[in-house]
Structure 1
Amino acid sequence: MHEQHEGDNPILEIKNLKLWYKVYKGYSKVLDGVNLTVRRGEKVGIVGEAGCGKTTTVKSILGIIPEKRYVIPEGQIFYKGRDILEMSERELNGIRSGEISMIYQEPAAALNPVFTIGQQMMDVVRYSSQGKGKTKQEQKEMVLRAINEVFIPDAERIFAFYPSQLSGGMKQRICIAMAIMTQRDLMIADEPGTALDVTIQDQVHRTLNELVEKRNMSLIMITHSLGVARELTDSINVMYAGNVVESAQTKDLFKRTLHPYTIGLMEAVPRLTGGGIQSGIYGSIPDYLYPPPGCRFAPRCQRATDECREQKPPVRDAGDGHWVACWHI
């Protein structure tokens, strides 16, 4: 589904990416031809239920899946026009330390409990391209500036704290500060508010949004919530079982929802007007060891026909940069 942005010089372009995990019984065929485009300065959402391949997709961009655990039989990941899958480990490390940053959904797991916040953030600066050659005091100033930027007061005091002395919301803000401390072109946020209560989650999302806009960074926001995607993104890619089944500008997707899976997600969103329990989608994602030969959503789809069950649907242009993988559109 990359065609909708052709000619816009995308910063990231994933083309027909297939990724299979090696498991005891063979291969778990998780990603089944993912297409995704991120333009410069654009905020892109990847939405879908747990286990649909969202995190695997973004981990493949950074090459942080243990090498012996997977194979990529097909596909390309272009970052600034160069295929990441063809890069050496040294080139990849350069991109990880200076161009793309990632925020994980569990802040406690991202911070080492035995080192202070200051020590951990200083390490990030020290190994970045912008931190090299700077004095220790200049590096510390970069850290304190980043802590202030995520709206945490008294940065000097926080610098000396251990992670256990911070609340969940503060830890997640520190993770954001680590990601924006040095100038990056692309930020990946993997459900950054999931482990937090709703109010703190909202504050973290606002902080992230303000910083991305202020620095004109591109953002990939992974979320299972259409509401979060609506608030924070310019475009949305709906993922189901290793495929992007619908891709559109955020406003257009909510105005004109086309894929049966996206319609099901929309119907499952609780509404302020009430109206009882929402319908949701019957069933669960397929077994990736033995995925359906046709559309992977067919076993759960009320509109499925024999064609859907036997052949993978093509990606169709529904107009205005709106793309749908469905036989019935």
Structure 2
Amino acid sequence: MNDDRLLDIKNLQIWYRTYRGYAKVVNGVNLYVGRGEKIGLVGESGCGKTTTMKSIMRLLEKEIVHIPDGGEILFEGKNILNLPEREMQDIRRRKISMISQSPMAALNPVFKIGEQMVDIIKYSGLLESNNKEDMIEIARNAIKTVMIPDPDRILNSYPYQLSGGMRQRICIAMSLMTPRDLLIADEPGTALDVTIQDQIYRLLNELVKDKGCSLIMVTHSLGVARELVDRIYVMYAGDIVETCKTKNLFDNPLHPYTQGLLDCIPRLTGRGLSEGIYGYIPDYHVPTPGCRFYPRCKEAMEVCKNEKPPVIEMENEHYVACFKYVTENFT
């Protein structure tokens, strides 16, 4: 593994077991994160972004998920998919943290916020003494960091006593209060109003700079990704279709799907409403054997229907998976 790569995902496939058979949601994803690097993962809802992130934390239910052989999720050189549960728990406690887009799923409804935050600090090994007052003070400061007033009241509250936005900020506070090597932010602004969103995104940016941790920002918003990350991966229906440095993506989008996403962004100059991208993501039970964007692509060719496009480097670190850029002739 490249020493500069903290996380390296190789040929990852994830299938869900359903009554109709396997839903092949993630289709051979390749993705890496450098140490101290910020990357963005963008795409429509249902494209497999959260599934991919949960696989890093190994939070997918084994009973309904099948990961075919050949895929790897290397964290600091170790394949997360093969680690014993005890070692995986240690990674969750000390190495990787994930901000969920569903705060009620991340918080235990029968314990007070303070109890849950103190447990995180206790098992992270942040304090040698495990003095409860010291742990409560760390939790109190973390709550202040995410712009919530009256932290003592929050610590004594149950999750159901807080609004959706407050719960989301608590989840963010939990992720930020102990040092981590990798922070996964899965749509962290989902339940927040616009002003708080901006503050939270700035906070995440400062965290990465100050503490030197790496960040994976999962988002629908290309505008958020443009402001926060160094590189962007564009995901469509379980495939990474384009990846490059952030500036290059906006200056020179190559894949028809990326171009469609950018065309959907409202412009200050007007131009009327965007038509969006025609169609829907495919049925994962019977996806096209070729490019999964084929049914929606205005530039589709016959070869796209039956063959998966190769990943081509068009310029320095700008990769695209599209037959449009292949010069060879296919029959």
Find 1:93's aligned residue among 89, 99, 106.
89
Matched, 1:63 2:45: no
8 A Cα contact 1:21 1:71, kept in partner: yes
State the match for 2:242 in structure 1.
Answer: 246
Alignment of 1:87-236 (within 5 A): 87-131=83-127, 133-236=129-232
- In 1: Cα distance, 2:110 partner to 2:198 partner: 29
2:45 partner amino acid: A
State the match for 2:32 in structure 1.
Answer: 37
How has the CA–CA distance of structure 1 residues 98 and 7 changed in structure 2, closer, same or farther, with 3 Å as cutoff? Answer: closer
SS of residue matched to 1:145? helix
- In 2: Cα distance, 1:313 partner to 1:75 partner: 19
Q: Deviations over 1:138-174 (max 9, x none)?
A: 2222222322333434433432233344444332222
State the match for 1:14 in structure 2.
Answer: 9
8 A Cα contact 1:248 1:322, kept in partner: yes
Matched, 1:237 2:233: yes
SS of residue matched to 2:88? helix
SS of residue matched to 2:35? coil
- In 1: Cα distance, 2:316 partner to 2:3 partner: 15
8 A Cα contact 2:242 2:320, kept in partner: yes
How has the CA–CA distance of structure 1 residues 215 and 149 changed in structure 2, closer, same or farther, with 3 Å as cutoff? Answer: farther
- In 2: Cα distance, 1:69 partner to 1:163 partner: 28
**Larger mean Cα displacement after TM superposition, 53-62 or 98-107:** 98-107
- In 1: Cα distance, 2:294 partner to 2:36 partner: 36
Alignment of 1:277-288 (within 5 A): 277-288=273-284
Deviating beyond 6 angstroms after TM superposition, the runs of 4 or more aligned structure 1 residues are none
Deviation at 1:12, TM superposition (A): 0.3
2:59 partner amino acid: I
State the match for 2:45 in structure 1.
Answer: 50
State the match for 2:287 in structure 1.
Answer: 291
SS of residue matched to 2:67? strand
State the match for 1:256 in structure 2.
Answer: 252
- In 1: Cα distance, 2:17 partner to 2:159 partner: 35
- In 2: Cα distance, 1:249 partner to 1:318 partner: 13
How has the CA–CA distance of structure 1 residues 239 and 120 changed in structure 2, closer, same or farther, with 3 Å as cutoff? Answer: same
- In 2: Cα distance, 1:193 partner to 1:154 partner: 22
SS of residue matched to 1:323? strand
Matched, 1:271 2:228: no
- In 1: Cα distance, 2:209 partner to 2:167 partner: 22
Q: Deviations over 1:5-34 (max 9, x none)?
A: x84620000001111111112111111110
| Structure 2 unaligned spans of 5+ | 326-331
- In 1: Cα distance, 2:212 partner to 2:153 partner: 30
Please give the TM-score of this superposition, normalised by the length of structure 1: 0.93
How has the CA–CA distance of structure 1 residues 63 and 46 changed in structure 2, closer, same or farther, with 3 Å as cutoff? Answer: same
- In 1: Cα distance, 2:26 partner to 2:290 partner: 14
- In 1: Cα distance, 2:48 partner to 2:125 partner: 31
Deviation at 1:215, TM superposition (A): 1.5
- In 1: Cα distance, 2:189 partner to 2:276 partner: 23
8 A Cα contact 2:168 2:191, kept in partner: no
8 A Cα contact 1:14 1:76, kept in partner: yes
**Larger mean Cα displacement after TM superposition, 13-22 or 212-221:** 212-221
1:271 partner amino acid: R
Deviation at 1:303, TM superposition (A): 0.9
Please give the TM-score of this superposition, normalised by the length of structure 2: 0.93
**Larger mean Cα displacement after TM superposition, 173-182 or 29-38:** 173-182
- In 2: Cα distance, 1:195 partner to 1:10 partner: 32
**Larger mean Cα displacement after TM superposition, 183-192 or 155-164:** 155-164
1:183 partner amino acid: P
SS of residue matched to 2:157? coil
1:14 partner amino acid: I
Deviation at 1:299, TM superposition (A): 0.8
State the match for 1:3 in structure 2.
Answer: none
